Amino acid sequence: MLNPRRRQASSGGFHPACALAPPSRVIAHSSVVSVTLSEVWRVGDYSGGEYLFRDEGTRYALVMIDLKNASRAELIALIVSQHETIARQERVIAAQQEQIVALEATVAQLTTRVGELLAALAAIRDEPPGGTGRSQRMPGLKPAPTKARPPKQPRKGRGQQFVRQRMEPTVRVFHAVEYCPTCSVLLIGGSVKRTREVIEVPLVPAVVTEHVSLERCCPHCHTRHTPAVALTGEVVGRQRFGVGLVSLIATMREEGRLPIATIQCGCPLGSMATFHAVSVSVGAIVGMLRQVARAGGPAVEAIRAEIRGSPVAHGNETGGCEDGVNGYVWTFCTPTAQYLTRGSRGGAMVDAVLGDEFAGVLVSDFYAGYAH
């Protein structure tokens, strides 16, 4: 670490010898210039701050000494300073060696303690406490698989490609370069290079139509006439909600099983208020659903009659909660019809759906409610 380093002098050559010493103890002599003690330190700073190491706050700069022409006192001062530096470094190394020995002992103790704690933790987690026979592992924690999965095999190539079928476009937008970017000539015609399909559902607000009936007076007989407006295909009864809106709400309720509050305000799936900007009260939604139920009554009876007259019917029941009340949902179906109803789990539910005139085969599980 104390090997001398050479620095180039202003004359372009190299000094024949150089040594490393504290600036406070060496007066440098150069073959070009001769500087004082303070000037030696500034030269070391302005040349990039070249020094090799720090020791107890002392910076040892690279100082030029002409060993050939140096006096005996200068050489003795240099040797003494180097001996002092070596002694000081030996003391630092000895102290660091003591610290290393102490740290290694501490690391050994901590390693032993960590091993003891890991063994105790494994014993607490795996061994059954107090003879209960139950492990202390977290309930439901699945152990890691001990056997590695085999690597996945490459997919087998298909003889025929089954790509996604494109839909029939409702709008076509053509994109073409109008002018040649090279010579600015108008371009016409062209061939189809590629196509891209984009499917989008626009958020269209509801259409509110106000039907205004005008009364007109005949100028000849002076009679007044008002037209009789028939809105049979647009609205049912005297309500203000159209057939499409009522059908949408009934579908979301029965098929999507959405709560009424979700249908009303659009949280979190969104519907009337979010998608169509329509304010519908809870009472209005309930009234629509009851209206649809009354209108679909004959169709429901026709489905039940078809099941009763079928030679084979399948039946099953499952528990379910509706409006906070527990109950059972029953299903009876054939290859072409399905009937759903809700009630208790008693055998009377089977009689209410199939009736006394059912003479076919009922396929079900071994629940006693079917065997009567």
The CATH number that applies at residue 337 is: 3.30.720
- Residue 177, pLDDT > 90, answer yes
Handedness of CA 253, 259, 264, 269 (dihedral sign): negative
Out of 97, 129, 161, pick the residue that ends a domain: 129
In this prediction, residue 51 carries a pLDDT of 41
Q: Are residues 284 and 321 in the same domain?
A: no
Out of 109, 129, 149, pick the residue that ends a domain: 129
Q: How far, in whole angstroms, is CA 252 from its chain's centroid?
A: 28
> Domain total for the chain?
3
In this predicted model, which residue has the larger pLDDT, 37 or 306? 306
- Least-confidence region, from 35-44, 187-196, 338-347: 35-44
Q: Are residues 271 and 321 in the same domain?
A: no
d(CA 116, CA 128): 20
189 occurs within a structural domain: no
In this prediction, residue 53 carries a pLDDT of 43
- Residue 120, pLDDT > 90, answer no
156 occurs within a structural domain: no
In this prediction, residue 75 carries a pLDDT of 87
- Residue 165, pLDDT > 90, answer no
What is the pLDDT averaged over residues 335-364? Answer: 90
* 87: containing domain: 1-129
**H helices present in the chain, as ranges:** 37-46, 72-126, 243-254, 260-265, 272-275, 282-295, 297-308, 348-354
Q: Are residues 366 and 251 in the same domain?
A: no
- The answer, as to whether pTM is greater than 0.75, is no
289 occurs within a structural domain: yes
- Least-confidence region, from 54-63, 254-263, 282-291: 54-63
Burial 308-335 (b: 16+ CB within 10 A, else e): bebeebbbebeeeeeeeeeebebebbbe
- What pLDDT band is residue 17 in, cutting at 50, 70 and 90? very low
Q: Are residues 263 and 353 in the same domain?
A: no
Q: Are residues 12 and 80 in the same domain?
A: yes
Q: How far, in whole angstroms, is CA 215 from its chain's centroid?
A: 63
181 occurs within a structural domain: no
Q: Are residues 350 and 251 in the same domain?
A: no
169 occurs within a structural domain: no
The tokens for 87 are: 């002694």
- What pLDDT band is residue 371 in, cutting at 50, 70 and 90? confident
Q: Are residues 254 and 351 in the same domain?
A: no
- Residue 24, pLDDT > 90, answer no
Q: Are residues 319 and 248 in the same domain?
A: no
Q: Are residues 6 and 44 in the same domain?
A: yes
171 occurs within a structural domain: no
What is the pLDDT averaged over residues 84-112? Answer: 94
Out of 248, 265, 294, pick the residue that ends a domain: 294
Q: Are residues 265 and 359 in the same domain?
A: no
206 occurs within a structural domain: no
- CB of 226 within 8 A of CB of 213? yes
Q: Are residues 273 and 339 in the same domain?
A: no
Q: Are residues 245 and 358 in the same domain?
A: no
Residue 206 is which amino acid?
A: A
360 occurs within a structural domain: yes
